[in-house]
Amino acid sequence: MSKNKQDLGPYRRKQFQTYFQFSLIAICFVIIFVLFYACTGSSKNDIDYTDAKVIQMDEPADDSPVVVFETNKGTFKAVLFPDEAPNYCKFFTGLVEKGYYDGTYVSMVQDGVYFIGGTKQADGQTTSDTDTTTIEAEYSKNLWPLKGALCAYTQEQGHLFSKKKVSNSYLLFVDNYDLTEEEQAELDSKLADSNNIPEDITDAFEKYGGVLNFSQQYTVFGQVYDGMDIYDEICGTDVADSETLKPREDIQFTKVYMSTYGENKNSNAFAGSADSSEVSESAVDSADTSSEI
C-alpha cells in the first residue's frame, strides 16, 4: 500500500512535470523582473556631476536661513539650502518652528565619522512624541558630506519591488574620517579611474574633510559654519560602549531655532582661513562606515 502511494503513475508524473516546467518559467520570470528592477532602480539617482559645485563653502546671502543649535556643550550654527533640498528644508524648518528639537538628544557618536541628534530619548529610541514622518530622499550634485554637513538620516523603505530611500526627523552631522596611507592610495586610484566626479569636489574633501563614502547616501541640506569648536567637542565625545555608540554623558539640544545668516555672520568660515579650514589633508572615505549606522 505504501509503495502505491509513493508511485505517481504515468498520468500524475506528467502532471508533475508540467507543473515543474511552469514553476521554472515562473521563477525565471521573477529573476528577470528583479534584475530589470535592480538595474533601473540603481540608475534612478544617477546624477551628472559635470558642472557640480561645492556651494557649501560659498558665503551665503544675508537672507539665507540659518538654524541655531544651543546645546549643553555650547552653540553651533548651520546654514540651510532650500533650493537644493526644498522638501526636507520645509519639513525641518516646520519642526524647528514648533520647538520639536528643543530638549532632544545626541544619541549616537561614531568617532571620526558622524553623530546623530534630534532624538527624543538619549538612547535614540522612538517615543510617542517622535515625529515619524518620512520625506523622500533628496540628492544634490552641489551638496556633499563634507565635515560639518547637516544631513537628514536616510534609510530604505518599502518591499522588494518598490524600495525607496526616505529621510526622517533624525539628524546626521558629518565629521572627518582620516584615511590611512593605504586607504588614501586606494581611493586616489579609484578617483583617477572615474571621470564622473570633478576634481574640484575631491579637492574640497582634501581641504575641508568629510566622509566621501556618504555621498548620495543621505539628504544633505545644511552646513555648520559657526561654533566648530563645540561641534568638534561633540564629535569627539566618549561613548558608553562600542555597540550602541551612546554618549557616556548626555548631550542635549537645549534650544533650536531659525534665524538668518545676516543675523549670524561669520565670514571667516568661508574665507579659507587657517582657522576655518584646518582639517586633515586626507580624502575621506570608509569601506564600512555606512553599514555601521
Higher pLDDT, 215 or 4: 215
Return d(Cα 169, Cα 155) in angstroms, integer: 12
What is the pTM assigned to this prediction?
0.76
pLDDT in tens, 194-212: 556 777 888 888 889 999 8
Cα 184 to chain centroid distance, Å, stands at: 22
Query: Which amino acid is residue 213, in one-letter code?
Result: N
- 25 has a pLDDT exceeding 70: no
Cα angle for residues 193, 194, 199 (degrees, 5° grid): 110
Specify the higher pLDDT residue, 112 or 32.
112
Please say whether the beta carbons of 249 and 65 come within 8 A: no
